[in-house]
Amino acid sequence: MEIAVDVQSTLGQRTGIGRYTAQLVAALRRVAPEIAIREVSAGREIVMRTDRRLWWQQLELPRRAAGADLLHVPGFDAPARSPCPVVLTVHDLIGAIFPENLPPISRWYWGRWLPFSLRFATAIIADSEATRRDILRLTKVRTPITVVPLGVDPAFSPPPAGRVAAVRARYRLDEPFLLFVGTIEPRKGIDTLVEALALLEGRAQLVLAGKVGWYGERVAERIARHGLAERIRRLDYVADDDLPALYVAAEAFVYPSRYEGFGLPVLEAMACGAAVVTTTAASLPEVAGDAALLVPPDDAVALAGAIARLLADGALRAALAARGRERAASFTWDRTARETLAVYQAVLNRG
């Protein structure tokens, strides 16, 4: 069996789909060395504007997959014409659910074309039950959908104290702080987090680690409006190597997202032993289970209350950290690879 995998997203600075693809390919080779994995890419990083993305995934990708038994597209749209069956991983349907968060030029692609292109896939993998339900609710596809949860990289584990101290020193994080990791955009609920920070007594610091995304300037305006500029640090993109130390150093990891197809940062934070506060939105309860404090999305008062509980109760932080590490241990990339292989085999068995 030869599986062609689109690895274009792994080139350059990796986003969530790039990390998923790299981890999945490595795990597939570990658990099934007898299967040939052909990594398909343009051989260089390309700017993924809408026109370039369509060129790659609709024209060039299927051409380069010729001769393989199956093509796995680990994100975005399935090609309308392919020389072999296509397995498509759908991480979320953000564009269809939150089109107002997208620049106008991107709304057609993310909000209309992407959901429509699902019907070109032979089989679909969804990261979570919540995403599977969204696909059924928002599209008319009759394609088989299998839920395959993501895994957590073993690198996301508590680092030595010296490593934590070094990372804190590099980023000049001398005071106790709360941590958020992710793209700075409205869907992530950072506006609610800023409102919650304004409600908290004392001088709790907040560190935002992630690139500014769609309409991120609105977050900056809200921070200025509440006079919180001195209590909020923006670190921009943080390399994966530094994230475990930041998770461990934080008093709590706060992830107030309004919607997630999976919510990998929550899993990574739990694996590192961070106490987590997140929301009841979409897939986040599937990932967090009983190992985090859950609050309704968009509820700044509830979010502030949960954060205050953690800051005041060291025993609660320790209990959540222990439960989080135990729960995260069940989410492995080898498990993801085995369940993905089962989807490949089902497709090939159907002919």
**Does any domain span residue 138?**
yes
pLDDT of residue 214: 64
pLDDT of residue 20: 93
> Domain check: are 195 and 319 in the same one?
yes
**Does any domain span residue 287?**
yes
Residues in the chain with pLDDT values less than 70: 13, 47-48, 214-215
**Does any domain span residue 225?**
yes
> Domain check: are 205 and 270 in the same one?
yes
Structural domain containing residue 321: 161-328
Over residues 277-330, the pLDDT tens digits come to 999 999 999 999 999 999 999 999 999 999 999 999 999 999 999 999 999 999
> Domain check: are 178 and 319 in the same one?
yes
**Does any domain span residue 156?**
no
Q: Which residues, in sequence order, are CB contacts of 151 under 8 Å at separation 6+?
A: 23, 27, 331, 332, 333, 334, 335, 336
> Domain check: are 256 and 278 in the same one?
yes
Contact 3, 39 (CB under 8 A): no
> Domain check: are 118 and 250 in the same one?
no
CATH of the domain at 178: 3.40.50.2000
> Domain check: are 128 and 179 in the same one?
no
Return the number of other C-beta atoms located less than 10 Å from residue 31's C-beta. Answer: 15
> Domain check: are 58 and 72 in the same one?
yes
**Does any domain span residue 261?**
yes
**Does any domain span residue 249?**
yes
**Does any domain span residue 250?**
yes
> Domain check: are 101 and 190 in the same one?
no
Reported residue count of the chain is: 351
> Domain check: are 171 and 124 in the same one?
no
**Does any domain span residue 284?**
yes
pLDDT of residue 13: 66
Helix (H, G, I), strand (E, B) or coil at 186: helix
Over residues 217-254, the pLDDT tens digits come to 788 888 888 888 889 999 988 988 999 999 999 999 99
Q: Give the pTM.
A: 0.90
Q: Burial level of 351, CB count in 10 A (0-12/13-18/19+)?
A: exposed
Could you give the number of structural domains in the chain?
2
pLDDT of residue 184: 86
> Domain check: are 68 and 117 in the same one?
yes
> Domain check: are 127 and 175 in the same one?
no
> Domain check: are 298 and 212 in the same one?
yes
Four-residue CA torsion sign, 30, 33, 39, 44: positive
